[in-house]
Amino acid sequence: MNKKNEEISNLTLSQVEELRKENRDREIAFSASLMESGSGHIGPFTTDITLTYRNVFTNIGNAYNPITGVFTAPLKGAYMFRVSVYGGAGTAASVFIVKNRERVVVAHGDQTQGELNSSNGVVLILEVGDVVYVSLLSGRRIVDSHNNHNTFSGFLLFPLR
């Protein structure tokens, strides 16, 4: 422990600033919900669509694009993603977390009465430029409001070489 404290105290100001800069490059996290205001249904559509989560709570590192709904990995690493889905009875609510056009995990809810919700998450190893987004399945419908029922979030757990 004393040796570690000695190493820390021997760091120069420029070394400390360099470590801060290095860590700042690794600060990647976003969280967003679908609607910026109002409420309504999204879907059903005849084909799968990429959902655009426009109400951005956090976008550290600006790797999430609220116009396209796509997260693009700025560096190689292990990332955690979460999605929540909310809908109304009568039409199933089903979304996939998708990596580079491949479905990875689903959040699905279906019931005849009342409201429904589901969530799911996954840790993915991403290379620089890999994309992750949420896809609403064709024939499915979700409901959102100012209560932010439908969310998509992700963050870098740690970089990889």
pLDDT value of residue 22: 56
| Minimum mean pLDDT range among 38-42, 43-47, 103-107 | 38-42
**What domain count does the chain have?**
1
**Domain boundaries, position 56:** 28-159
Q: What mean pLDDT value characterizes the chain?
A: 88
Task: Please check whether residue 129 lies inside any domain of the structure.
Answer: yes
What percent of the chain has pLDDT above 70? Answer: 84
d(CA 46, CA 100): 21
pLDDT value of residue 150: 94
Task: Please check whether residue 154 lies inside any domain of the structure.
Answer: yes
Task: Please check whether residue 92 lies inside any domain of the structure.
Answer: yes
pTM: 0.83
Categorize the per-residue pLDDT at 21 as very low, low, confident or very high, splitting at 50, 70 and 90: low
Task: Please check whether residue 104 lies inside any domain of the structure.
Answer: yes
Asked if pLDDT for residue 1 goes beyond 60, the answer is: no
pLDDT value of residue 40: 84
pLDDT digits (tens, 9 = 90+) for 84-142: 999 887 788 999 999 999 999 999 988 777 788 899 999 999 999 999 999 999 999 99
Domain CATH for 82: 2.60.120.40
Task: Please check whether residue 22 lies inside any domain of the structure.
Answer: no
Task: Please check whether residue 14 lies inside any domain of the structure.
Answer: no
Task: Please check whether residue 6 lies inside any domain of the structure.
Answer: no
Task: Please check whether residue 83 lies inside any domain of the structure.
Answer: yes
